[in-house]
Copies of this chain bind each other. A is one copy, B any other.
């Protein structure tokens, strides 16, 4: 199979399809009559190049070549995969498929980004309907894995399988939808929320902002990792899905939404759901599902905290409060620079805190010491900071999630551009877990080169270093890797 994709129709969706293929090493041939197409696709490509490689822990294939063509016939020449993303009008779709079919390879897969039409409708004017199917993606297409693949009653099962293989190879999650239906699955769910949301805004119950917050601080986080039914399975607890779903029967008549068309939640439907839920999640106990869910939520919310966004900004604000409550540190002896729990997302395959997280904790300790001497966010914004030049860590003992750890810091040297720190990491029972020795250099953030710190910072640092001269030289200071004890 040639790794050549034709993108018919650019824009936000087509452009992102182009990016997915291109960054996975495919050559991409674009047809879009919009004279602005190249610029618009270039902008989407810029976003994709910025973000998509971040998902991978290995270098992606070398980018393919992108070319723009004046006709559909020219664009589809030699393509093994063709994605149609033209406007959602049946007449345009039919013309497009006729032009594609007239010129494309006889075994090329033809996917449509449509949310409004079924494969039967899309292929109705084509003699060969076997390779035309819905491949409905989600914005941003270059990041979100989902593609709803609908072959319907017209596409050949082998073509659907071949299509799913291609989509998997470019990092996507093709989801086979067995029945043809307007809106497929996801857009039907989105449409119901959209209509209810419009009512709520229309009736002045809430603003768009409050509605969005009601999603992203709550069930939106759940739905990033488990869907509707798996989440409710957990809510049902050990009583089981059959019992849990059954109790919703009477509520189907409640006006809990403006949208009052409801299926009858009779025994047959209740059992159908319970059986499907068993097939979907029955390999896990409810307790296991709870823990998987919780670890996922913790990991995602911590990821959002690093971006200070949404639920993550709630955590960041909470951290700022708990930190302020610690008060001013005593600087005359070792300085308590970290006091925290080892979070669930810091473990590795050996079942203990990963080595890189030791340095993360020591880095936090260093940040705290920088802040104490006055190198805080405001100072950094003014153009000065400390960069770590050299690090030595002894990993002395293990620690697992949930353990309380502390870091205490000795300022070995603080003079001129240099800050030499020695960190002691301990468990709550006093066990020494690790030591970290670090040389930091003050830099200008403009030149990115060594530069003296502001006088008030050097003064504070020197004072602490002077006080710490009374402390003993840390055991292990000046060690090199592999040195005898």
User: CB distance A187 to B437 under 8 Å?
Assistant: no
Task: List 12 interface pairs A-B (beta carbons < 8 Å), by A numbering.
Answer: A177-B206, A177-B210, A178-B204, A178-B206, A182-B256, A192-B195, A192-B196, A212-B280, A216-B226, A303-B303, A351-B445, A439-B482
User: CB distance B229 to A273 under 8 Å?
Assistant: no
- Chain A residues 192 to 239 lying within 8 A of chain B, measured CB to CB, are 192-231, 234-235, 237
Complex Cα spacing A437 to B380, Å = 30
Across the A-B interface, give the 9 residue pairs with the lowest CB-CB distance, nearest first. Answer: A212-B227, A259-B259, A220-B223, A146-B218, A54-B343, A224-B224, A209-B280, A299-B303, A356-B360
Residue numbers in B under 8 Å from A248 (CB-CB)? 194
User: CB distance A269 to B202 under 8 Å?
Assistant: yes
User: CB distance B482 to A480 under 8 Å?
Assistant: no
Does A462 reach chain B (CB closer than 8 Å)? no
The one of B139, B259, B273, B303 in contact with A261, judged by C-beta atoms closer than 8 angstroms, is B259
Among A75-83, A105-113, A394-402, the stretch that binds chain B is: A394-402
User: CB distance A189 to B196 under 8 Å?
Assistant: yes
Does A359 reach chain B (CB closer than 8 Å)? yes
Among A44-52, A452-460, A463-471, the stretch that binds chain B is: A44-52
User: CB distance A391 to B387 under 8 Å?
Assistant: no
- Chain A residues 107 to 132 lying within 8 A of chain B, measured CB to CB, are 116
Nearest CB in chain B to that of A47: its residue: B290
The one of B177, B182, B295, B448 in contact with A254, judged by C-beta atoms closer than 8 angstroms, is B182
User: What 0/1 readout, one digit per residue, does chain A (50-70) give for beta carbons within 8 Å of chain B?
Assistant: 110111111111000000000
User: CB distance B255 to A182 under 8 Å?
Assistant: yes
- A228-B194, A307-B296, A481-B439 known; A260 and B257 CB under 8 Å? no
User: CB distance A144 to B54 under 8 Å?
Assistant: no
User: What 0/1 readout, one digit per residue, does chain A (158-169) give for beta carbons within 8 Å of chain B?
Assistant: 000000000011
Nearest CB in chain B to that of A280: its residue: B209
The bracket for how many chain A residues form the interface is 35 or more
Complex Cα spacing A199 to B255, Å = 17
- A47-B290, A193-B189 known; A143 and B481 CB under 8 Å? no
Complex Cα spacing A230 to B211, Å = 10
User: What 0/1 readout, one digit per residue, does chain A (371-396) give for beta carbons within 8 Å of chain B?
Assistant: 00000010010000101111111110
Does A472 reach chain B (CB closer than 8 Å)? no
User: CB distance B482 to A420 under 8 Å?
Assistant: yes
User: CB distance A227 to B207 under 8 Å?
Assistant: no
Does A350 reach chain B (CB closer than 8 Å)? yes
Residue numbers in B under 8 Å from A156 (CB-CB)? none
A211, A248, A401, A404 — most chain B CB neighbours (10 Å)? A211
User: What 0/1 readout, one digit per residue, does chain A (169-183) give for beta carbons within 8 Å of chain B?
Assistant: 101110111110111
User: CB distance B198 to A262 under 8 Å?
Assistant: yes
User: CB distance B219 to A225 under 8 Å?
Assistant: no
Does A39 reach chain B (CB closer than 8 Å)? no
User: CB distance B276 to A208 under 8 Å?
Assistant: yes
Does A431 reach chain B (CB closer than 8 Å)? no
Residue numbers in B under 8 Å from A201 (CB-CB)? 269, 272-273, 276
User: CB distance B172 to A185 under 8 Å?
Assistant: no
The one of B138, B272, B481 in contact with A218, judged by C-beta atoms closer than 8 angstroms, is B138
Does A96 reach chain B (CB closer than 8 Å)? no
Does A438 reach chain B (CB closer than 8 Å)? yes
- A211-B227, A299-B307, A391-B391 known; A217 and B146 CB under 8 Å? yes
Complex Cα spacing A168 to B316, Å = 12
Does A243 reach chain B (CB closer than 8 Å)? no
Residue numbers in B under 8 Å from A230 (CB-CB)? 208, 212
